[in-house]
Amino acid sequence: MLSKTLLFAIIISGFSLDIVMRHDVDESEYIALAEKYAGSSIRLNAGCGTFVLPNVILTAAHVAIVPQMGDDVTVDGVKYKISEIIIHPEYEDGRSLANDIAIIILEEGVPNIELAKLYYNNDEVGKEIIFAGTGWAGTGDKGMVEGSINKDRKMRAAQNRVDGIREDGFIRFTFDAPDSEDALPLEGISGPGDSGGPALWFDGDQAYILGVSSHQDGRGMGKPEGVYNVHEFYTRVSEFTDWIETELKNNDIDLN
């Protein structure tokens, strides 16, 4: 029988594990986009997450369960102890992609951190969003293949547009090629190491988290990870707001 750790390593290879960018745009523009819009995003010891309160981070369940997560989070060089990690009760490690969402609660709040609000509406399709993450970076013409991956772990951000909803709790994105009429100026998707990071929609200066980075179906389409035209799936936050609020109230935390 495979050990749980080995089984997880096999399963996670299909997940969206930094940002994969257009090959015809200088990556400095993606870094600048992150500097402007990714203030609520955080690099965790494993994957990424999003601050929704100074002491509460939203991430993916498949990120939160790995031993590498550790017992702290580092922000601007300061370590903050984790008091609790809450995995969605219907997430089954290694069995299904559904309910891929988790909450990290810190012992104390991080000062002066930007926050994203939960998105409650069901009108995500058509909204332009911003992905943010610090995983491995690459470009859509080559994808995530050895020799074409940048592992500097800088925060990058990319644009995309919600183009579908899946009934099992996901919003869908397509990595449109530069010659597509649907491609945005800084089109991109997440890449290895970005799991748990956000899909952010902005109403003025306020960020709302519409989705949590979960997985990509490139291999299912006969394509390598991170190439143009693959689909990216993020856990749909609007379907989990009741669960999030309940878990926070159980920990004497009020979102409002």
Domains annotated on the chain, with CATH: 16-38+117-238 (2.40.10.10), 41-115+241-250 (2.40.10.10)
The strands making up 138-139's β-sheet, listed across from edge to edge, are 138-139, 20-21, 188-189
Nearest to 38 by CA among 159, 172, 187, 170: 159
pLDDT band at 140 (very low <50, low <70, confident <90, very high): confident
Give the C-alpha separation, 232 to 214, whole Å: 8
Note whether 150 and 137 are within 8 A (CB): yes
Give the C-alpha separation, 153 to 19, whole Å: 10
- Residue 79: pLDDT over 60: yes
Task: State the pTM of this model.
Answer: 0.87
Q: What is the mean pLDDT of residues 3-17?
A: 35
Give the C-alpha separation, 178 to 24, whole Å: 8
What is the per-residue pLDDT across 227-253, written as a single tens digit (0 to 9) for each? Answer: 899 899 999 999 999 999 999 999 999
In DSSP terms, 116 is beta-bridged to: 207
Which has the minimum average pLDDT: 35-39, 88-92, 135-139?
Answer: 135-139
Give me the phi and psi of 202, to 5 degrees please.
Answer: -110, 130
pLDDT for the residue numbered 216: 84
What is the per-residue pLDDT across 158-205, written as a single tens digit (0 to 9) for each? Answer: 999 999 999 999 999 999 999 999 999 999 988 766 789 999 999 999
Cα 107 off chain centre by:
23
